[in-house]
Every structure is written in C-alpha cells, then in structure tokens.
Amino acid sequence: IGLFGLLTRRNALLFLMSVELMLNAANINLVAFSYYWGNVTGQTFGLFTMALAAAEVAVGIGIILVLYRNFDDVDVTKATTMRW
C-alpha cells in the first residue's frame, strides 16, 4: 500500500504518509520477528527506525512548507522548478 501511494500520488503530504506507512510496516516486521526468535535486537532496530522516521518527517514537513510558500501548492512535480 505504501509503495503504491509513493508511486501514484503527487501530493507531497500523501507522499510523506506513504513513506511513513512503509517504515511502520518495517517496524512491525522487526518487532514481530524479534518476538518470535526471543531476542531484543529487532526491537532495538525498530526503535532506531522510529527515530529515523521522526527525523525524516521533520525534514519532509520543512520541504513541504517551502513548496507551499513558493508555489501555493504541495504538488511534487513542481519541485523540479526549484533551483539554486
């Protein structure tokens, strides 16, 4: 579902939500396999990926705000017009 949203959506917020959905699916898999095998390594990796996802959201929202300020829209196809 996350990959489909990533490939088909043009709205930057939905794009970011699709990436977060994929990261959360990976976290669920890490924790489930960690519980199955009886060690905490997967849970530790899950915690690190949650921290990574939080940082990714902060950067993503910053980019979305710049897109909205410059173009009054959050369409990711307009990001190609942003230059130095």
Domain count, the chain: 1
The domain that holds 70 is classified in CATH as 1.10.287.3510
Q: Is residue 11 part of a domain?
A: yes
- What is the average per-residue pLDDT within 47-69? 92
Q: What is the dihedral of CA 59, 27, 50, 12, to 10 degrees?
A: 20
Domain span at residue 34 reads 2-76
Whole-number Å distance between alpha carbons of 9 and 60: 15
- What is the average per-residue pLDDT within 12-16? 91
Q: Are 16 and 60 in contact (CB under 8 A)?
A: yes
pTM, rounded to two decimals = 0.83
Whether residue 73 has pLDDT greater than 70: yes
- What is the average per-residue pLDDT within 11-27? 93
Q: What pLDDT was estimated at residue 70? A: 85
Please state the φ and ψ torsions of residue 39, each to the nearest 5 degrees: -125, 170
Whole-number Å distance between alpha carbons of 14 and 8: 10
Q: Is residue 49 part of a domain?
A: yes
Whether residue 71 has pLDDT greater than 90: no
Q: What pLDDT was estimated at residue 80? A: 74
